[in-house]
């Protein structure tokens, strides 16, 4: 039965003994072994009561088995919902409840804490540990190694990815089979991936970068991945000689540049380094090229669209830009007030249209209508411009989005929590430059009259309720927040005044 995403990414490798995953300890997982594991897991999910169109939420550590859960969901027609491993129980409760997930898959160590979350949403709780053990694997152990692939069309949903909104309520971006497959097809061609490529994969797989960009590209090209649980500098330097390509975030490259072992000779054989999920500083571009002779290829994507633009594989990769729209993707810069296209060189809101653009936000028709125009253009909320050579430049982010270490953070969610703390009159959260993470979170607090704020207690409340990447790195007490004549808080003043806060971090 037809299932475009499974057939093109996974099924085409049936019976192939070529390596798919090279694991850190030296083991190799072939395509055939991976697909047999996938089939067993698909049977286990079907046995748990999941039918095509149902949702599975997964908060698990990176492992071959975790990747096989994604493949099994595609094969069984289940909508896959990967969740950041840093999310707290409170956050998970919202995602599981909002998505209507029938199964919540978690690490065994969290089973006790998350049983209530599952019970409240009527979801089945199953476990998958980083070492590949757990109740899901136990259930799949003796099941058949062939699974009849569920019939799905290109417009059927394949995944949800939740992205925070400025109101503090997260939005479930609905991604179809066509969204994911079309983007992988374009990127394989644009970045020249083949079956000879060995990708060093140190990204998380709960994020679009590591899952739907890196993994899907390798599956479609028929190459292999050095599959690291996370970015560990010593391991990356040790394994780079075995790779041909690497995808990373700016933090990866700044840390490698700080290591004297990272030399031109070490990466002389490499074909491609790409960077995304956060802006790459121009000085990092320059330093990387001087050290290695390679120029990093920077691109631009979003949760709702996967990749939209890319610097060219052949041609000038210009620092400070994200290149040109990918084949099949239309991009324009519009006036944020009128929606009219602005002249080339002017700054406005980036809008994109193409087969990569998501189907809308789950259970949010009003929000979908606000951001996804009837003509198919998605209003990204990012401020950008197209320069005189046609390169797209991201010059800012609308709605005060913070990108820290590749993760999107919306200040409103943090401000709502800070405002609830004892003695706090009001708060403002901004992102300020950080050498490792691109940006990091700083919270500004105005105390109620006569109140003395317990900053340790407030920080502790953030730790309890928010994922680690959202925690304010610093809390600063102010007598009042800067405002304009209309009473709006001027966050640009806070960002400018405290821009050097972590200059020597």
Task: State phi, psi for 74 to the nearest 5 degrees.
Answer: -60, -45
Q: What is the pLDDT of residue 485?
A: 41
Q: What is the C-alpha separation between 500 and 476, in angstroms, rounded?
A: 14
Are both 382 and 431 inside the same structural domain? Answer: no
Are both 466 and 364 inside the same structural domain? Answer: no
Q: Is residue 42 part of a domain?
A: yes
Q: What is the C-alpha separation between 109 and 370, in angstroms, rounded?
A: 40
Q: What is the C-alpha separation between 307 and 326, in angstroms, rounded?
A: 8
pLDDT in tens, the chain (505 residues): 699 999 999 999 999 999 999 997 889 999 999 999 999 999 999 999 999 999 999 999 999 999 999 999 999 999 999 999 988 888 899 999 999 999 999 999 999 999 999 999 999 999 999 999 999 999 999 999 999 999 999 999 999 999 854 345 789 999 999 999 999 999 999 999 999 999 999 999 999 999 999 999 999 999 999 999 999 999 999 999 999 999 998 889 989 999 999 999 999 999 999 998 777 777 788 899 999 999 999 999 999 999 999 999 999 999 889 999 999 999 999 998 899 999 999 888 999 999 999 999 999 999 999 999 999 999 998 888 999 999 999 876 666 778 888 887 877 778 889 988 999 988 989 999 998 888 999 999 999 889 999 999 999 999 999 999 999 999 999 999 887 543 467 888 898 899 999 976 4
pTM, two decimals, is 0.82
Q: What is the C-alpha separation between 152 and 103, in angstroms, rounded?
A: 20
Are both 415 and 493 inside the same structural domain? Answer: yes
Are both 387 and 425 inside the same structural domain? Answer: no
Are both 331 and 394 inside the same structural domain? Answer: yes
> Are the C-beta atoms of 337 and 349 separated by less than 8 Å?
no
| Domain total of the chain | 3
Are both 406 and 395 inside the same structural domain? Answer: no
Q: How far is CA 480 from CA 203, 374, 414, 446, in A?
A: 40, 42, 18, 6
Q: What is the pLDDT of residue 352?
A: 98
> Are the C-beta atoms of 37 and 65 separated by less than 8 Å?
yes
**What's the CATH code of the domain at 271?**
3.40.50.12780
Q: What is the pLDDT of residue 396?
A: 60
Are both 380 and 418 inside the same structural domain? Answer: no
CA-only gyration radius of the chain, Å: 23
Query: In the structure encoding, which two tokens stand for residue 494, read together?
Result: 């806070």
**What's the CATH code of the domain at 118?**
3.40.50.980
Task: State phi, psi for 393 to the nearest 5 degrees.
Answer: -120, 135
Q: Is residue 286 part of a domain?
A: yes
What range does the domain containing 37 cover? 4-13+30-153
Are both 384 and 433 inside the same structural domain? Answer: no
DSSP secondary structure, 268-298, as one string:
TT--EEEE-SSPPPHHHHHHHHHHHS---EE
């Amino acid at each position: 039965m037809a299932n475009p995403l499974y057939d093109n990414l996974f099924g085409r490798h049936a019976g192939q003994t070529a390596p798919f995953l090279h694991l850190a300890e030296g083991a190799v997982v072939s395509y055939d072994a991976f697909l047999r594991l996938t089939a067993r897991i698909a049977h286990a999910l079907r046995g748990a009561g999941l039918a095509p169109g149902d949702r599975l939420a997964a908060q698990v550590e990176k492992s071959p088995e975790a990747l096989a859960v994604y493949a099994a969901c595609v094969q069984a027609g289940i909508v896959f919902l990967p969740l950041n491993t840093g999310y707290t129980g409170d956050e998970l409760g919202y995602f599981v409840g909002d998505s209507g997930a029938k199964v919540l898959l978690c690490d065994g160590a969290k089973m006790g804490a998350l049983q209530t979350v599952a019970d409240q949403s009527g979801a089945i709780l199953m476990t998958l540990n980083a070492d590949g053990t757990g109740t899901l694997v136990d259930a799949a152990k003796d099941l058949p190694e062939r699974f009849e692939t569920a019939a799905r069309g290109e417009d059927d949903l394949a995944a949800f990815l939740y992205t925070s909104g400025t109101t503090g309520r997260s939005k479930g971006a609905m991604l179809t089979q066509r969204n994911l497959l079309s983007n992988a097809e374009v990127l394989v061609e644009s970045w020249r991936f083949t079956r000879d490529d060995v990708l060093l994969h140190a990204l998380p797989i709960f994020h679009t970068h590591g899952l739907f960009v890196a993994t899907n590209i390798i599956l479609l090209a028929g190459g292999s991945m050095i599959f690291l649980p996370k970015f560990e500098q010593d391991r990356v330097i040790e394994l780079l000689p075995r790779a041909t390509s690497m995808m990373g975030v700016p933090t990866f490259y700044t840390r490698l540049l700080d290591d004297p072992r990272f030399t031109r000779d070490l990466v002389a054989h490499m074909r491609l380094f790409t960077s995304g999920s956060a802006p790459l500083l121009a000085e990092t571009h320059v330093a990387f090229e001087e050290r290695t002779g390679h120029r990093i290829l920077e691109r631009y994507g979003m949760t709702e669209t996967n990749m939209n633009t890319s610097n060219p594989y052949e041609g000038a990769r210009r620092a400070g830009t994200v290149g040109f729209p990918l084949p099949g993707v239309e991009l324009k810069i519009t006036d944020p007030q009128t929606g009219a296209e602005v002249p080339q060189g002017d700054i406005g809101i980036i809008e994109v249209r193409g087969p990569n653009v998501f189907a809308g936000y789950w259970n949010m028709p009003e929000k979908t209508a606000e951001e996804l125009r009837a003509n198919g253009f998605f209003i990204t909320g990012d401020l950008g411009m197209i320069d005189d050579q046609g390169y797209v430049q991201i010059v800012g982010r609308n709605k005060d989005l913070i990108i820290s270490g590749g993760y999107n953070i919306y200040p409103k969610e943090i401000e709502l929590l800070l405002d609830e703390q004892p003695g706090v009159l009001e708060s403002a959260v901004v992102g300020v430059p950080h050498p490792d993470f691109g940006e990091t979170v700083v919270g500004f607090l105005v105390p109620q009259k006569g109140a003395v704020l317990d900053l340790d207690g407030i920080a502790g409340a953030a730790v309890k309720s928010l994922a680690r990447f959202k925690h304010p790195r610093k809390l600063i007490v102010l007598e009042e927040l800067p405002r304009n004549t209309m009473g709006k808080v001027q966050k640009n003043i806070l960002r400018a005044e405290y821009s050097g806060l972590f200059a020597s971090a």
